[in-house]
Amino acid sequence: MILELAGVAAGYGSKTVVSDLSFGVEPGQIVALLGHNGAGKTTTLKTVMGLIAPRAGEVRFDGQALGRMPVAERVARGIRLLPEGRGIFPDLTVAENIDVVAARTGAQGAMLKPADVYALFPVLDERRATRSGSMSGGQQQMLAFGLAILGTPRCLMLDEPSIGLQPNLVERLFGQVRDVCRAHGMAALLVEQNVAAAMGLADRVVIMNNGRIVFEGLPEEARASNVWHYF
């Protein structure tokens, strides 16, 4: 397992929002984390990223317990979060966004460099000098994904990347997620409201309800199960 949660609980203030979370992601594997609004999916991603501390259990990365390791160190080890609402700098051009993030994620010896992102998304190459916030939602999401994989990502967490995208763009973006995972052995943990698209992409599915896991298995097992009453 590259990423493993063992009995993790987390929350805000006096409120525990997720508990007893145990699941893992293998290198190169895509795991979809599904559940209705407020089920605790984003809280789970934030806990792995180190934005909030677990109040029970352990997050392990590459076999090592992360404890209270700071976010920057998690990023350096290859844990990445593509936050809901797009993690780009809207006032910078496409090239400036890419250069700023490439400089921070260690261009030396990086697995994925700016040239790889431009090759993956030729439209970003054409729009290097465009202010990124003025691009279409789809192009902004491609840039956000491109920024998230710069450097040497080993586990990418995507929080509802399909929001606001046309179905054909969702299909293209998910195809690119799959290609990068397969080509580089990168793991992905995908939070999605678009259940059909996520199930089509994922190798495994974890379903949450009220802060707990109610199903973990293959997409076909999820389809055949009775977990859908949670949605």
Question: Interface residues with ligand ATP (CB under 6 A)?
Answer: 12, 17, 35, 37-43
Strands of the sheet containing 79-82, edge to edge, are: 79-82, 155-159, 187-191, 30-34, 204-209, 212-217
Nearest-approach distance from CB 43 to ligand ATP, in angstroms:
3
Residue 168 or 229: the one with the smaller Cβ distance to ligand ATP is: 229
Strands of the sheet containing 64-65, edge to edge, are: 15-25, 3-12, 56-61, 64-65
Nearest-approach distance from CB 51 to ligand ATP, in angstroms:
10
Residues 162, 192 contacting (CB under 8 angstroms): yes
Residue 42 or 162: the one with the smaller Cβ distance to ligand ATP is: 42
Nearest-approach distance from CB 212 to ligand ATP, in angstroms:
12
Residue 41 or 86: the one with the smaller Cβ distance to ligand ATP is: 41
Calculate the alpha carbon distances from 92 to 45, 98, 136 in Å.
27, 10, 15
Nearest-approach distance from CB 72 to ligand ATP, in angstroms:
21
Is residue 213 within a helix (H) or strand (E), and if so which, with residue range? strand 212-217
Residue 40 or 78: the one with the smaller Cβ distance to ligand ATP is: 40
Q: Is 174 left (phi over 0), alpha (psi -120 to 50) or beta?
A: alpha
Nearest-approach distance from CB 15 to ligand ATP, in angstroms:
6
Residue 117 or 213: the one with the smaller Cβ distance to ligand ATP is: 213
